[in-house]
Amino acid sequence: MKRVITVGSAVVDVLVRSNGFRVMKSHLVEGGVAMCEVYGGKLGAEEISTEVGCGGSNVALGLKRLGVFARPFSLVGDDDWGKWIRKNLERESLETNGIREVVGSTAVSVILIADGGGRTIITQRGVGAKMSAKDIDWKMLDKANWVQISSLGGNVNLLEDIVLYAFSKKIKIGLNPGKKELEEKKTLLSLLPKIEYLNVNHMEAVKFFKGRYGEDKKMARRFLDEGVKYLTITDGVGGAGLAMGDTWIKANSYKTKSIDDTGAGDAFTAGVVAGFLAGREKEEVLKMGLANGAKVVTMLGAKRGLLRKEEMNKWVKKRRVKIVEEKCG
């Protein structure tokens, strides 16, 4: 059986969905779009929910539902939230001996969700921001065939430690870096030859290589030339692409109604990694990622909509998406 260890921060997600949040274009913010409300105003909410968040546990549960053994590794605080996270993961039948309790506060995010699923996230990173090599159970990592690394809050020293150790043990490495890891371009470029699978979204790829919209193939070629074996670039409703060798395949997204975009990237990653580990053809690997992401956004939170193995097989076989294969570059 293939064994995956997922590494990332453990977070309590407080999700607030309100049709009263106003999304407006503004030159004053990065990206040109802002979520706004009148200062001092009061809004009603359609739904409020508290769930376990973080890329590590999201990907681990996504893999487990697809028949892959996965164990999350994260730090939580010695507070009630830390105990709550452990209990909730156990309820999902995930092994929690990789969830380590340390002195301090567990990370908490408040996620404000507008009509259509767009969101703004406010995060207090807690003890996860202090994770270091001494916190890692290296013996546990030794038992894995694959380590999947999510955002580490910009802790590139820890990222480097995990990648170099896993590579030395011939453990395959998947990486879905966060914004702060991508800002450490020199370090990340030095690690790419050791990465089996890298996942970034379109805007992250554009910023990393100073590319332009519509140039995903060219940016994919640059990542591959830096040493990555497999690369995916996601683009929300625009679908996603998979690059490997000299091949670039692009697929449209599955059509679903988005309630909350939280966790779509983690769901996509879980689908793709499960496809790789199962030895699926490249088109099916991409479709598995897209299917998982499309289902997750139809429900509040990052975990409720994750597909199970039987459901995934139905999506891949019966639901069609347009796929185009081209030369990468």
Amino acid letter for position 270 = A
Range of the domain at 134: 3-327
- Structure confidence at residue 3 (pLDDT): 94
What is the residue-wise DSSP string for 79-121? Answer: SHHHHHHHHHHHHTT---TTEEEESSPPEEEEEEE-TTS-EEE
Count of structural domains within the chain: 1
Residues 116 and 221: their CA atoms lie apart, in Å, by 33
pLDDT band at 2 (very low <50, low <70, confident <90, very high): confident
Residues 4 and 238: their CA atoms lie apart, in Å, by 29
Residues with Cβ within 8 Å of 226's Cβ and at least 6 positions away in sequence, in order, are 189, 192, 193
For 314-323, write each residue's pLDDT tens digit. Answer: 999 988 889 9
For 170-180, write each residue's pLDDT tens digit. Answer: 999 999 998 88
- Pick from 9-13, 34-38, 152-156: least confident: 34-38
Q: How far is CA 195 from CA 36, 175, 184, 232, 287, in A?
A: 39, 7, 16, 13, 22
Asked if the model's pLDDT at residue 34 lies above 90, the reply is no
Asked if the model's pLDDT at residue 233 lies above 90, the reply is yes
Residues 288 and 299: their CA atoms lie apart, in Å, by 18
Three-state secondary structure call for residue 11:
strand
Residue 118 contacts residue 20 (beta carbons within 8 Å): no
Tell me the range of 33-47, 112-126, 137-151 where mean pLDDT is highest. Answer: 137-151
For 191-227, write each residue's pLDDT tens digit. Answer: 999 999 999 999 899 889 887 766 889 999 999 999 9
Asked if the model's pLDDT at residue 189 lies above 90, the reply is yes
| Crossing angle between the packed helical segments 202-209 and 216-225, to the nearest 10 degrees | 60
- Structure confidence at residue 122 (pLDDT): 92
Sheet holding 11-17, edge to edge: 47-53, 11-17, 107-113, 119-124
- Structure confidence at residue 191 (pLDDT): 97
Asked if the model's pLDDT at residue 80 lies above 90, the reply is yes
Residues 228 and 189: their CA atoms lie apart, in Å, by 10
Across all residues in the chain, what is the average pLDDT? Answer: 92
- Structure confidence at residue 84 (pLDDT): 96
Asked if the model's pLDDT at residue 329 lies above 80, the reply is no
| pTM recorded for the entire structure | 0.92
**Higher confidence at residue 177 or residue 129?**
177
Query: Can you read off the two tokens belonging to residue 299?
Result: 């429900």
Asked if the model's pLDDT at residue 272 lies above 80, the reply is yes
- CATH number of the domain at 294, please: 3.40.1190.20
- Structure confidence at residue 248 (pLDDT): 97
Q: How many CB atoms lie within 10 A of CB 112?
A: 19
Residue 3 contacts residue 145 (beta carbons within 8 Å): yes
Q: Which residues pair with 263 in a beta bridge?
A: none
- Structure confidence at residue 211 (pLDDT): 72
**Which one, of 182, 180, 187, lies nearest residue 162 by Cα?**
187
